[in-house]
Amino acid sequence: MALFGTDGVRGLANGTLTADLALNLAQATAVVLGQGRFAEARRAEGRRTKAVIARDSRISGDFLGAAVAAGLAASGVDVYDADVIPTPALAFLVNDFDADFGIMISASHNPAPDNGIKIFARGGVKLPDVVEQRIEEHLVTEKLLPTGRDVGRIARFADAEDRYLLHLLGALPARLDGLHVVLDCANGAASGVSPQLFADAGARVTVVGADPDGMNINDGVGSTHLEVLQRAVVGHGADIGIAHDGDADRCLAVDASGKVLDGDQIMAILAVSMHERGRLVDNTLVATVMSNLGLQLAMERHGIRVLQTSVGDRYVLEAMNAGGYALGGEQSGHVIIKEYATTGDGLLTGLQLTAEMARTGRSLADLASIMTVLPQTMINVDGVDKEGVGDEEVQAAVRAVEAELGDSGRVLLRPSGTEALVRVMVEASTHEIAQDAAERLATVVRERLAL
């Protein structure tokens, strides 16, 4: 079974994800990412291999971080520990600090008992599958470890947060003076830096979910639990609410009435703004196949092309890099603004969204009106052969539903990447139509692909 999932290595801390595994993974990473022409050039100049590490606010991040630091230092890597900062801050620092790689200890939106290890290569970019496979292979090989003066040092990255704050403020297209922002930091990695960022940008800031105790990350707050933020925005009469997840690589929003905006709606607003300002490369937005059809229709009305990828922000980023595109993301709120970030950045996204309100003088609800979200129904059909979605009768049923929906809807059948199930997704002009079509298709999938 592969160690790496869709976003690094993840599991129950001290269960499947142990200190031993973290140390060995760090050593294997040092072998794989400490090689190549950049590392050789660095050594030829008398410079040492260096890595940046960081973590979110989980209590298990302490011992896992210590294990990662030990594994790297024992491999001859100088370690710069940035402590608790968002994942996108770690990615930025790897690039800004000219580090050979970086390791983030976080399980993102998962509950506190879980944790994970995300690895970023030189430049602050996520690893392709082939590099992750090489790291896995080196987990079981014997490693020649340095001694004496060649072992690595471990130091505190003292100005890590300040560097990241200044970077984000430098990306600000308009001051936020006069706007009241409520921030939900999920009791996670953004708890310190996000309120400081928005205050420095000129906003009046109210904060919820910013009291991490090591175990309350994502617990009833953050981008997966928006009720607290909705109540706070309405209760305080705020202009906008911004919700992060535990490691702040995603952003969802709430307008003044308490209505939620997902990643598709946020991307629509930013894409139109960038298009109007001549900053949307080739008038193209990159999104996944799970993005709402309403996004596609809204972008067509504004002369913007939507390039679709497989689900996962790494695939979005690959397409952006291949085409040189400026904006992409997912419905979940992972939004990549390529001019300023190499990965999804919830702080940057929230800042840019709020700045668009300041720049235009329009409310968030008014900005969001450019896109109509079509009703979407998802049914997970389990106990089936997920590799059989190409079955002729299944595909015939899909074509029949697509003919019924015409231009007002769409169908997506997608095998799960980790479970024996097929996801049946239907979008239509009404929830009733979507639900009926999805249930009919799910029945066909269940009957034809039963194990």
Q: How far is CA 121 from CA 50, 99, 124, 337, 342, in A?
A: 12, 9, 6, 19, 11
CA 159 to chain centre: 24
Cα separation, 179 vs 350, whole angstroms: 13
The reply, when asked if residue 245 is annotated as ligand binding, is yes
Cα separation, 330 vs 280, whole angstroms: 17
Centre a 10 Å sphere on the Cβ of residue 87 and count the other Cβ atoms it contains: 32
If you ran DSSP here, which 8-state letter would residue 219 be given?
A: S
The DSSP H or E segment spanning 30 is helix 19-33
Reading the block at residue 144, the tokens are: 């020649």
The reply, when asked if residue 416 is annotated as ligand binding, is no
Q: Is 408 a catalytic residue?
A: no
Q: How far is CA 143 from CA 25, 28, 66, 139, 396, in A?
A: 12, 8, 20, 9, 54
The reply, when asked if residue 436 is annotated as ligand binding, is no
If you ran DSSP here, which 8-state letter would residue 389 be given?
A: T
The reply, when asked if residue 108 is annotated as ligand binding, is yes
Cα separation, 104 vs 109, whole angstroms: 14
AA identity, residue 284? T
Q: Do 422 and 398 form a contact (C-beta atoms < 8 A)?
A: no
If you ran DSSP here, which 8-state letter would residue 195 be given?
A: H
Candidates 164, 179, 110, 94; CA nearest to 355 is 179
- Start-to-end C-alpha separation, the chain: 21
Candidates 423, 425, 447; CA nearest to 434 is 425
Can you list the alpha helix ranges (DSSP code H) found in 277-345? 293-301, 313-323
Cα separation, 135 vs 121, whole angstroms: 12
The SS3 of residue 427 is strand
Using left for φ > 0, alpha for ψ between -120 and 50, and beta otherwise, residue 137 falls in alpha
From the list 57, 106, 108, 273, the catalytic residue is 108
Residues carrying an active site annotation:
108
Sequence ranges of the binding site for Mg(2+): 108, 245, 247, 249
Sequence ranges of the binding site: 108, 245, 247, 249
